[in-house]
Amino acid sequence: MSAESVRVGVIGCGYWGPNLVRNFSALRESRMIAVADMDEARLKHVADLFPAVRGTRNAEDLLADDGIDAVAIATPVATHFDLARRALERGKHVWVEKPLTRSVKEAASLVALAGKHRRVLMVDHTYLYSAPV
């Protein structure tokens, strides 16, 4: 995988997910492949904005897809650990919206798993790259 060809899937198309799809779509270094959300209306919303991006109601479809190199997780925090763990175990790089997990123990487990599989694990903060911050 080269820096120019990171194929991305976004899990969670609620409030923040469409922003992630927009930003990953705009980057030369990534290619948006698919989104997953249990809400059909949210999938339709993303499909209307980004017709080339495949949608599914099952996050497992993205995790099992060998054509996806990295997943961004923008779901309720209670789901972060399990989704990130499963993605790392399948060899995906993982970007997670804040907070990373519900506990330090879960976070440490993900860090160790990312190291074991030699994958990037990143937690986002909305203003991480904002000049004032």
Contacts 24+ apart (CB under 8 A), 48-56: 49/18, 49/21, 49/22, 50/21, 50/22, 50/25, 53/21, 53/25, 55/13
Catalytic residue check, 105: no
List 44, 98, 105, 116, catalytic entry: 98
Distance of alpha carbon 109 from alpha carbon 40, whole angstroms: 32
Helix, strand or coil for residue 10? strand
Amino acid found at 20: L
Amino acid found at 110: L
Torsion of CA 96, 100, 105, 110, to 10 degrees: 10
Active site residues: 98
